[in-house]
Chains A and B, each alone.
Chain A
């Protein structure tokens, strides 16, 4: 797909400590033909700073979407999600959980805090690439609302 000049640029925040997954997600978003600006946060502590709008995130623009891994160093994605939902500015930002494994309890907690989608990181490259289209769909739907 080609990127038209009039296509909007989406701001996506990604909580992910594995650079290999960051690389794959960039490829997937590219493959979906999306203009995007990806901010990568590598650990839970920094994730909390983002969710509470502290430090470098105090004046950062509100993202269009947050993609959170649950298993990251220094606190998990669920804590970050909880802090986002308590934040006036980030309360309604769509969130997608993308994780390699999650206990049913983690899934339930994340579900109760409101997430758009729960994605288990696929092993198959093609399936991983499909995540790009999925995120685009969620972003376009949110943009209409």
Chain B
């Protein structure tokens, strides 16, 4: 027996789900009518709250009908379920994972289903799976405290594995690459006449390949550092100084391309100097790198909204098509070929830094018409 609609699902879910970085929606009744979506869900689906509320989940979300059987089961049986599915209909292979669990009214009757959706990549799958399980653990905490402890331990190990891997990658794997590069140069200098002209071409390919590998490894290390809880102390950082330093770091690129960087007054926020450099430098460098025909113009602004700062980094570059709004934040995900150099780690680093401080990051853009990256950061102790 199911309860009639007596509970406002949005009011019920908002306090617990609103600030989550994981996309969540509350669906009411046997038709799974969307009654609540958190901001992360809107970002994930690229839709507004108004465009989703009141619709059946199967019609509201692209691919929503694929979840119908799952939602019916959870609503019917009351048992939470996890589900992973590879969505390979587009050229981009993405993997969707969702956790679903019943929402019960005070009388314990099922009134709807909570669904939480994440796009998982191979890189993240292990960590995310643990997070999803932890989410269910919090719903049924009394049953699952021990399991949650075990999973927490696994998460710690996963993070430690990743840290050690990145360290090895950056330090130990770089060395043989350096040897390959230097010694192939040595070979061609000393023996070019005996090897013939083709040898120079070969060495050029080797050198470029190893350089790319080094860039990727360096990017991987930066990515790991971006999520690190260690490092220099957490303190109030004046972001105006960060921008000044970033402009200095990017001086050559700014001058060569005639880039104009404008910046309103920025606040000081709590965090790590090096992390904020990573965040702003990647966004500004992207604005320069993905420029259009006209000289790049990058406008940075900040606006206080309740307990958080909303930042915008706006450029006049080539923009990003809507279907890639999520993809671009993936590790080593790139939309362009070798004509625009890069490793595809920059925005993944930005997302990791913002995540690390409890904020959100997203893009608004029209292809060919510039892009604006928005992100939020909590108001620091001094700003309150």
- Which of B170, B171, B182 contacts A123, CB < 8 Å? B182
Name which of B75-83, B126-134, B172-180, B335-343 contacts chain A: B172-180
Interface residues on A, range: 10 to 19
Residue of A nearest to B231 (CB): A104
Instruction: Determine the distance from Cα of A82 to Cα of B216 in the docked complex, in whole angstroms.
Output: 35
- Listed in ascending order, the chain B residues whose CB lies under 8 Å from chain A are 170-171, 174-175, 177-179, 181-183, 185-186, 189, 210-211, 214
B179 near A124 with CB under 8 A, answer: no
Contact with B along A45-80 (1 / 0, CB 8 A): 000000000000000000000000001000000000
- Which of B170, B177, B185, B210 contacts A101, CB < 8 Å? B170
- Chain B: minimal CB distance from A106 (Å): 12
The reply on A121 being an interface residue by CB < 8 A is: yes
The reply on A144 being an interface residue by CB < 8 A is: no
Instruction: Determine the distance from Cα of A56 to Cα of B141 in the docked complex, in whole angstroms.
Output: 67
B182 near A124 with CB under 8 A, answer: yes
The reply on A87 being an interface residue by CB < 8 A is: no
A100 near B182 with CB under 8 A, answer: no
A20 near B181 with CB under 8 A, answer: no
- Which of B174, B183, B210, B211 contacts A20, CB < 8 Å? B183
The reply on A125 being an interface residue by CB < 8 A is: yes
B178 near A125 with CB under 8 A, answer: no
Q: 16 A–B contact pairs at CB < 8 A?
A: A18-B175, A18-B179, A20-B179, A24-B182, A100-B174, A101-B170, A121-B178, A123-B178, A123-B181, A123-B210, A124-B181, A124-B185, A125-B182, A125-B186, A125-B189, A128-B182
Contacting residues, chain B, for A126 (C-beta < 8 A) = 185
- Chain B: minimal CB distance from A117 (Å): 19
- Chain B: minimal CB distance from A29 (Å): 15
- Which of A24, A121, A123, A125 contacts B214, CB < 8 Å? A123
Instruction: Determine the distance from Cα of A122 to Cα of B214 in the docked complex, in whole angstroms.
Output: 12
Instruction: Determine the distance from Cα of A84 to Cα of B178 in the docked complex, in whole angstroms.
Output: 29
Instruction: Determine the distance from Cα of A18 to Cα of B176 in the docked complex, in whole angstroms.
Output: 11
Contacting residues, chain B, for A24 (C-beta < 8 A) = 182, 186
A100 near B175 with CB under 8 A, answer: yes
- Chain A: minimal CB distance from B98 (Å): 41
Residue of A nearest to B175 (CB): A100
Contacting residues, chain B, for A20 (C-beta < 8 A) = 179, 182-183
Contacting residues, chain A, for B189 (C-beta < 8 A) = 125
Contacting residues, chain B, for A121 (C-beta < 8 A) = 178
Residue of B nearest to A104 (CB): B232
- Which of B178, B185, B186 contacts A100, CB < 8 Å? B178
Residue of B nearest to A121 (CB): B178
Residue of B nearest to A24 (CB): B182
A123 near B211 with CB under 8 A, answer: yes
Contacting residues, chain A, for B177 (C-beta < 8 A) = 123
Contacting residues, chain B, for A100 (C-beta < 8 A) = 171, 174-175, 178
Contact with B along A79-98 (1 / 0, CB 8 A): 00000000000000000000
The 8 closest A-B pairs by CB, nearest first: A125-B185, A123-B181, A101-B171, A123-B178, A125-B182, A20-B179, A100-B175, A125-B186
Instruction: Determine the distance from Cα of A122 to Cα of B175 in the docked complex, in whole angstroms.
Output: 11
- Chain B: minimal CB distance from A55 (Å): 29
Most buried by B among A18, A71, A101, A125: A125
